Structure 1
């Protein structure tokens, strides 16, 4: 029994992913309107919400993409006030490190066209929690992106694209309005 306990304890301690420090991203765009409060003033609240989300169990299992031995998953969509939180996981099952160039959110036409077209609208994150620039080989990285709350018009979809720096293992996930409407409350 003690050997099993030691084995499980060692596995848990050695398999924990490495996290970087939370970053506060401020956009140059002002978000003040009579209807929406200023989200940027609630950074402690956003950080607490992100810490709760990291402890939660995954609630979405069907949004994923794979390119080679890289896997990209949306583990959950959460909401708190005027903010949507996206729990994203990059899983690197190869020996080569994956250098993340950028992660972009955009609203595009639902025709499945590749790339960001002139009709697409890029969304800027309000807050990023535990962002990583590199996913080492045989490791995974979990990040939370906070965006202003939005819904999609008919015929539109949310596209989340991860670009690899100096590489071709780009990853893309397309989500519909149905996913956003089923966001969990924090």
Structure 2
């Protein structure tokens, strides 16, 4: 009964239900699992460096959250150790609120798919979203640029 009162109070005060941290993580995880079943939805903005390829397979939205489906494809025998994946808009780094199936290393001749959840945002004219993947102790850094038109094509989950 108290959960119902908390949800109703959050809905009346903020216009949307209020969730605890555990409930929110479960909800984000279920959205990510659904996205993995749905699969790609974009025209695959991509970048490659050597035999490493980085693709943005899709952008999805659910409530106040944007989900980015990313894939790293290693076509070389050398393992790719991921140092960091960053989302930047005009030198401001955005922190993800949830990461599903975090990629730490992509073994040789394999691929890895990860979903990053960020708070919903739009870009002003002339601004671009930059997604950067850095290799630990290496030089095969990858980056994708996306404009507001790419964000506007987000699918609902």
Structure 1 pair 40–72 and aligned structure 2 pair: CA distance change class (3 A): farther
Secondary structure of 1:84's counterpart equals strand
- Once the two structures are TM-superposed, the CA of residue 132 in structure 1 deviates from its matched residue by 1.7
Question: Residue 85 of structure 2: which of 92, 103, 107 is its match?
Answer: 103
Question: Residue 159 of structure 1: which of 116, 130, 135 is its match?
Answer: 130
Structure 1 pair 84–38 and aligned structure 2 pair: CA distance change class (3 A): farther
What's the counterpart of residue 136 of structure 1?
A: 107
The structure 1 segments of at least 4 consecutive aligned residues displaced by more than 6 Å after TM superposition are 35-40
Structure 1 pair 38–70 and aligned structure 2 pair: CA distance change class (3 A): farther
Q: TM-score, normalised by structure 1?
A: 0.73
Structure 1 pair 141–47 and aligned structure 2 pair: CA distance change class (3 A): same
What's the counterpart of residue 182 of structure 1?
A: 153
Structure 2 unmatched ranges of 5 or more? 1-13
Structure 1 unmatched ranges of 5 or more? 1-33, 109-119
Query: Once superposed, what is the RMSD of the aligned Cα atoms?
Result: 1.6
Q: Structure 1 CA distance, aligned partners of 2:70 and 2:19? A: 21
Q: Does 1:123 align with 2:94?
A: yes
Higher relative contact order (CA 8 A, sep 6+): 1
What's the counterpart of residue 82 of structure 1?
A: 64
Q: Deviations over 1:44-99 (max 9, x none)?
A: 11000000000113111231000000000000000000000000000000000000
Q: TM-score, normalised by structure 2?
A: 0.86
Corresponding residue pairs, total: 142
